[in-house]
Chains A and B, each alone.
Chain A
Amino acid sequence: MIKQYVESAKKGAVDLLEQAHKALEETQKINKEYRYSAAFADPVAQAEKLQQQAKDGKAKGRLFGVFVSVKDNICVKGIESTASSAILKGYKPVFNATAVQKCIDEGAIILCKTVQDEFGFGGFSVNTGKGIEKPLNPIDRKRTCGGSSGGAAGLTKKATFPHLALAESTGGSIANPASFCGVAGLTPTYSRVSRYGLIDYANSLDKIGTMALNVNDAALLLEIISGHDPKDSTCSQLPVPSMADVPGVISGLRIGIVKEAFNEQMDNNVRKTILEAVYKLEQIGARRIELSLPLSMNYGLSSYYTLAMTEASTNLAKYCGLRYGASEQLSGTYNEYFSRVRTSQLGDEAKRRILLGTFARMAGHRDAFYTKAAQVRTKIIQEYHMAFKNVDVLITPTMPLVAPTFEELKQLTPLQHYMMDILTVPANLAGLPHISLPCGESNKLPIGIMITANHFQEQKMLQVSNALH
């Protein structure tokens, strides 16, 4: 548990320097086998400063001496941050993302950036940018670790030193890899955490969240990074409730079981395991209520992908090889130049999403796609709000199956790839807080249970999480 470690580190009972060396060595060793890390920070130098503070009796902060890895799309000042895209190669941000700064302010040691699908475009971390190796599942290297926060989840599973991860989810990019790697992944309500310093995928959907080996550590980190930030105009002003150590008391709590989520396409073991967990919750006082979310389950995916790709296509316009990141020999007209840079530096999935997203907002198609998708999102949010009148949380599996092998993934079409997000996307589209927790195994591969709460009701999903463990 992070809390106990922080207490003894503050007292000077931990040799932070030794810890930093160990963390660095271990991460590099893991990296050789599993490829979770992108650029490294200078943990030893940071540890030295903290060690001195501890000696001077000036140690403070709820993350004192804790190693934090940062998903590559979250900016760390002076450390190459590329969102795992070749087009941002060499780009070192001139400022810290607010979430990163908050960790530093609490005494955290920034360890490294973690590999992801390029700009977050994927669910299996196989769409890493040009020249960036795909991360491998920590339990079975022939399998995917999920995505897009794949590096974050894998490192969280493997690290034996005190480690927490900053991750990010647009359509399920925290829950998905957390499920496949067997760790806790927390995604807050949209706008709960400042997006200042987050390299945009789809601004109206992007959420910075956290990962840890257990719920309370991830919740502590989420509590720390939450809260209003004047630098992000969309960031919520609501007060942040206490999230760490929410008591797992669930007597009378109403648990909604989404009928559409437990369909035939689902892996049998996964379904059985989740329903057993729900049964266990019933035994300790929860009430089980079956309900239907037809709009969310039928139209969530199409609305999500339309909106996400549309916004992404505008966000990626700025990457043109002119001001930062990759550049090439200047020649030809501006149009020829940036087309050449984008053609050579962006991956296939990024190109696919730029093309589809651009199409969806062109004058002749905007109403039918972009505008319609936004209307559907509003309807889906309403459907969830209606559901939360009758239940406190919703429970589904996180993914319809356990981590597939890379061979299996190759058989899937892009559309089938997108279909894997059927359970995580609707909650992300609606901006609802959700958590994925390890919940049993199938053939030694972890199964994730997903608990979703209403907007700004993070405490409720944490209540249920803590009751389960």
Chain B
Amino acid sequence: MHFTENVIIGLEIHVQLNTQTKLFCSCPTNASEPNTAICPTCLGHPGSKPVLNEKALEFAAKLALALGCTIAPTVTFSRKTYFYPDLPKNFQTTQYEVPLGSNGAIVLDNGKVIHIQRVHVEEDPGALIHEAASVLIDYNRSGIPLCEIVTAPDMNSPAEAREFLKKLLNILGYLGVYDVNNGVVKADANISIKERNYTRVELKNITGFKEIERALQYEIERQKQNEVKLETRGWNAEKGVSIFMRSKETEEDYGYIVEPDLPVFEISSEWVRSVQQSIPELAEQRAARWIKDLSVDKDDARIIAANLDVAVLFETIAKQCEPIFSARWVRREVLRILNDERKELKETAFESSSLIKLFKLILEKKITDRIGQRIIEQLATKKFLPAAYVKENNLAMVADEGALKNACKNAIKNNPKAVEDYKKGEEKSLMFLIGQVMRATKGTAAPNVVKELLKGLLK
């Protein structure tokens, strides 16, 4: 391969697929107590045999198809042999010769195409728990399905690698094949720089998409300042450094052979079609459609589309309520509340029907924005009819000049300093006075009416 860029990065990413059971046995994947979700198969007992969880294959195929990959006509598994205490059989059952998916891509915002060479499924080893004097092994993780995604060396900066990973995670979440909250994502990076003649270093064990940028930035700096050898290094997130693991000469030979306990799985085009049909419209396509067809603000569209549940909620709302306005409110209020509370949409009481009713009250100027915000906070926790709530709590917008005049006069009387400042030409002070009126009216006063009234009274 001929490179000209300053930095060359390729990624190998592992994500856990969120199937109910493990890849080759029926142990659950959600156990918390160590070594409770284990059986002879995921412990590698003599005489145990693997039975493929077809759901895992389906999930991986879903991802491969969403990334535009070609699906192989047959799937075979292989044994990758290496000795490690977290690996019960001392070989990992993975895919070697032909991956499930190949030749896909993700396009970055700057238009750069990051090619995806392979997408395959394999089993996760157990987890090592380092304690003061010993190492404990939890085999609950042993056999959890992993999806491996390998890119071409198409990225040229840590920021691009981060964007790639973020986009990938977004797709995974959208497809429902990955647990966005608890799922683990791990990356190994191949990285080389022009200054060192593109001598390639493999950087292992980078966890999470935020770490990737940091780890790559560190490694680029390290390479600029040091002699670079063909080697494998490990990322230590705690210390923020990469550590030498092994040189290429002592690279392990995994001695791959075909897994003889599993048959060759034929992949029918029918099956591929049905998996394809189960893929929802992805975030980027969805956002683009809203921008084009509904004239929704670009940022609003992208941010809403990134969360599948919220995207679906928005689409329902936008069918009955002005889309640009709805998008703004969904992004600024609904998503804000979800972020603040660290909750999924499903964990709140939000539903499209009451949000539509609320948005209409705001649009029709029956309530002020401020009251709208207050009600939306309430809608996150319980279900009720916004109109009835407004009536019960006297929250309807007050736009009648007569009714607001007193409140305005009081505000002027009680805040002589602000009045003085305003008269000196400070517009900010007018906003302060409006705020005082809003406060006095519990947010029900129509802000533009108040503004005009105050201006008149202060002339």
Residues on A facing B (Cβ under 8 Å): 74-75, 81, 83, 88, 91, 93-95, 97, 195-200, 202-204, 230-234, 310-311, 313-314, 317-318, 320, 322-324, 334-335, 338, 358, 361-363, 366, 370, 374
Q: Please name all residues of chain B whose beta carbon is closer than 8 Å to the beta carbon of A311 when the two chains form the complex.
A: 257, 260
Q: Please name all residues of chain A whose beta carbon is closer than 8 Å to the beta carbon of B89 when the two chains form the complex.
A: 317-318
Q: Please name all residues of chain A whose beta carbon is closer than 8 Å to the beta carbon of B46 when the two chains form the complex.
A: 75, 81, 83, 88, 91, 93, 199-200, 318, 324
Residues on B facing A (Cβ under 8 Å): 40, 43-52, 79, 81, 83-85, 88-91, 253, 255-258, 260-263
Q: Are A361 and B40 in contact (CB-based, < 8 A)?
A: no
Q: Are B91 and A314 in contact (CB-based, < 8 A)?
A: yes
**Which of B48, B88, B89, B258 counts the most chain A CB atoms within 10 A?**
B48
Q: How far is the CB of B102 from chain A (nearest CB, A)?
A: 21
Q: Are B49 and A318 in contact (CB-based, < 8 A)?
A: no
Q: Are A366 and B256 in contact (CB-based, < 8 A)?
A: yes
User: In the complex, A374→B260 CA distance in Å?
Assistant: 12
Q: Are A233 and B50 in contact (CB-based, < 8 A)?
A: yes
Q: Are A198 and B47 in contact (CB-based, < 8 A)?
A: yes
Q: Are B49 and A362 in contact (CB-based, < 8 A)?
A: no
Q: Please name all residues of chain A whose beta carbon is closer than 8 Å to the beta carbon of B260 when the two chains form the complex.
A: 202-204, 234, 311
Q: Are B90 and A361 in contact (CB-based, < 8 A)?
A: no
Q: Are A317 and B47 in contact (CB-based, < 8 A)?
A: no
Q: Which of A81, A203, A334, A374 contacts B83 (CB 8 A)?
A: A334
Decide yes or no: A233 and B262 within 8 Å by CB, A317-B89, A320-B90 being known contacts: yes
> Mostly helix, strand, loop or mixed at chain A's interface?
loop
Q: Which of B45, B83, B84 contacts A93 (CB 8 A)?
A: B45
Q: How far is the CB of A373 from chain B (nearest CB, A)?
A: 11
Q: Are B49 and A232 in contact (CB-based, < 8 A)?
A: yes
Q: Please name all residues of chain A whose beta carbon is closer than 8 Å to the beta carbon of B261 when the two chains form the complex.
A: 195, 200, 203, 232-234
Decide yes or no: A361 and B49 within 8 Å by CB, A234-B263, A318-B89, A320-B83 being known contacts: no
Decide yes or no: A334 and B256 within 8 Å by CB, A93-B45, A233-B49, A320-B90 being known contacts: no
User: In the complex, A320→B262 CA distance in Å?
Assistant: 24
User: In the complex, A200→B51 CA distance in Å?
Assistant: 16
User: In the complex, A97→B46 CA distance in Å?
Assistant: 11
Q: Are B90 and A196 in contact (CB-based, < 8 A)?
A: no
Q: List 24 A-B contacts (CB under 8 A).
A: A75-B47, A83-B46, A91-B46, A94-B45, A95-B47, A196-B47, A196-B49, A200-B261, A203-B260, A230-B51, A231-B51, A233-B263, A234-B260, A317-B81, A317-B89, A317-B90, A318-B44, A323-B44, A334-B83, A335-B83, A362-B253, A362-B255, A366-B256, A370-B257
User: In the complex, A91→B48 CA distance in Å?
Assistant: 14
User: In the complex, A335→B253 CA distance in Å?
Assistant: 16
Q: Please name all residues of chain B whose beta carbon is closer than 8 Å to the beta carbon of A338 when the two chains form the complex.
A: 83
Q: Please name all residues of chain B whose beta carbon is closer than 8 Å to the beta carbon of A358 when the two chains form the complex.
A: 255
User: In the complex, A95→B48 CA distance in Å?
Assistant: 9
Q: Please name all residues of chain B whose beta carbon is closer than 8 Å to the beta carbon of A198 when the two chains form the complex.
A: 47
Q: Are A318 and B90 in contact (CB-based, < 8 A)?
A: yes
Q: Which of B43, B255, B262 contacts A323 (CB 8 A)?
A: B43
Q: How far is the CB of B152 from chain A (nearest CB, A)?
A: 22
20 more CB-based (< 8 A) A-B contacts, given A83-B46, A318-B90: A75-B47, A81-B46, A94-B40, A94-B45, A200-B46, A200-B47, A231-B49, A233-B262, A233-B263, A234-B262, A234-B263, A314-B79, A314-B91, A317-B83, A317-B91, A323-B43, A334-B84, A358-B255, A361-B257, A363-B255
Q: Please name all residues of chain B whose beta carbon is closer than 8 Å to the beta carbon of A195 when the two chains form the complex.
A: 49, 261
Q: Please name all residues of chain B whose beta carbon is closer than 8 Å to the beta carbon of A200 when the two chains form the complex.
A: 46-47, 261
**Which 9 A-B pairs have CB atoms at the shortest separation, nearest pair first?**
A317-B90, A203-B260, A204-B260, A361-B255, A199-B46, A197-B47, A75-B47, A318-B89, A318-B44
Q: Are A366 and B255 in contact (CB-based, < 8 A)?
A: yes
User: In the complex, A374→B257 CA distance in Å?
Assistant: 11
Q: Please name all residues of chain B whose beta carbon is closer than 8 Å to the beta carbon of A202 when the two chains form the complex.
A: 260
User: In the complex, A358→B89 CA distance in Å?
Assistant: 15
